[in-house]
Amino acid sequence: MAQGVLVFAEQIDGSFRKVAYESLSEGRRLADALGETLTGVVLGSGIEEIAGELAKYGADTILVGDDPGLADYTTDAYTNVLFDIVKDNDPRILLLGASSRGKDLSARLTARLGSGLAMECTSLRLDGDNLIATRPMFGGKILAEVALGGTPQVAAIRPNVMEIIEVAKAADVERVAVNTGVVKTRVVEKRIETASKVDLTEADVIVSGGRGMGGPDFSVLEELAEVLGGTIGASRSAVDEGWRPHSDQVGQTGKVVSPNLYIACGISGAIQHLAGMGTSKCIVAINKDPEAPIFKRADYGIVEDLFKVVPAITAELKKQKD
């Protein structure tokens, strides 16, 4: 009979994604409620050393799939290996992070398993043994509660939403046999766009600019982001204009973010933009049009020219820091 919670803990270049810790913490909570065990899975090449880190977030067992064939993420290899692990361990619940890779992997894996999948979950709860997932639908207009039948019940959790809780455990680390199977793709080149920039999906503070920026000069936003320890985002209009790279785009066809603070500057608040940032914990909108739809979603709104307000906020924050 299916038992326990299994969490796929994503790592890139030997560092776990923040969402891996969030998924494990959530997995620990569910496993405790069920009175069952939590297993963390890490896949990659040369990653045995970092695997033990997962014990800090409550894993009872850590399964390590360490193989040169897993050095670069490919959908085929990761699906094949994780599928075997899931079949061998028969978990009741399987959690992954809804990062770009996590979305790709969870979709392919659940198709292979014949299981349901709740994507971009913002909270999880149990109804008896059944997992009930809350997830935004229709571009974030509604929050749906989704019940998952059969096993494993698979949920991909939205990054930056769930709490990280450290619960040190003396976990068993086990190496598993890896069979990457037939892999139809191979990585020929990697281009790392902004190595020093915090990944938008994991940022605590995002200062975003839209068409209201009027051009590619985002320096006023960059200065504010620097004082706040944040990072820059953009609307699709700003990206389509060529002012920012696509990797900065927030929204339905960009990144889905949930920072503690999202400052939208010169962004009207189209539904496709809101779909990407609507679950931010605090939204501040700066727009000179009092009728801009962004104000309906904002916690704080400032009706003013952003080029006046943003430098004033930056100067005030700098003063307070000194």
Ligand X SMILES: Cc1cc2nc3c(=O)[nH]c(=O)nc-3n(C[C@H](O)[C@H](O)[C@H](O)COP(=O)(O)OP(=O)(O)OC[C@H]3O[C@@H](n4cnc5c(N)ncnc54)[C@H](O)[C@@H]3O)c2cc1C
Question: Residues interacting with ligand X, by CB under 6 A?
Answer: 210-212, 235-238, 249-254, 266-268, 270, 272-273, 276, 286-289, 292, 305-307
Complex with ligand X: residue 175 or 246, whichever CB lies closer: 246
Residue whose C-alpha is closest to residue 93's, from 37, 134, 148, 154: 154
Smallest separation, CB 136 to ligand X (Å): 14
Residue length of the chain: 322
Q: How far apart are CA 122 and CA 72, in angstroms?
A: 28
DSSP states of 160-203: TTSPP--B---PEEEE-----------------S-TTSPPGGG-
Smallest separation, CB 2 to ligand X (Å): 37
Complex with ligand X: residue 125 or 246, whichever CB lies closer: 246
Complex with ligand X: residue 100 or 253, whichever CB lies closer: 253
Complex with ligand X: residue 157 or 267, whichever CB lies closer: 267
Smallest separation, CB 243 to ligand X (Å): 10
Q: How far apart are CA 120 and CA 160, in angstroms?
A: 11
Complex with ligand X: residue 4 or 136, whichever CB lies closer: 136
Smallest separation, CB 275 to ligand X (Å): 7
DSSP-assigned beta bridge partners for residue 146: 133
Complex with ligand X: residue 237 or 279, whichever CB lies closer: 237
DSSP state, 8? E
Say whether 37 sits in a helix, a strand or coil: coil
173 close to 112: Cβ distance less than 8 angstroms:
no
Q: How far apart are CA 291 and CA 152, in angstroms?
A: 47
Smallest separation, CB 181 to ligand X (Å): 34
Smallest separation, CB 108 to ligand X (Å): 23
DSSP states of 211-276: GGG-SS--HHHHHHHHHHT-EEEE-HHHHHTTSS-GGGBBSTTSB----SEEEEES----HHHHHH
Residue whose C-alpha is closest to residue 9's, from 43, 38, 37: 43
Smallest separation, CB 161 to ligand X (Å): 19
For residue 126, the Cα-to-chain-centroid distance in whole angstroms is: 22
Smallest separation, CB 247 to ligand X (Å): 12
Q: Name the percent of the chain in helix, strand, coil, to the closest 5.
A: 35, 25, 40
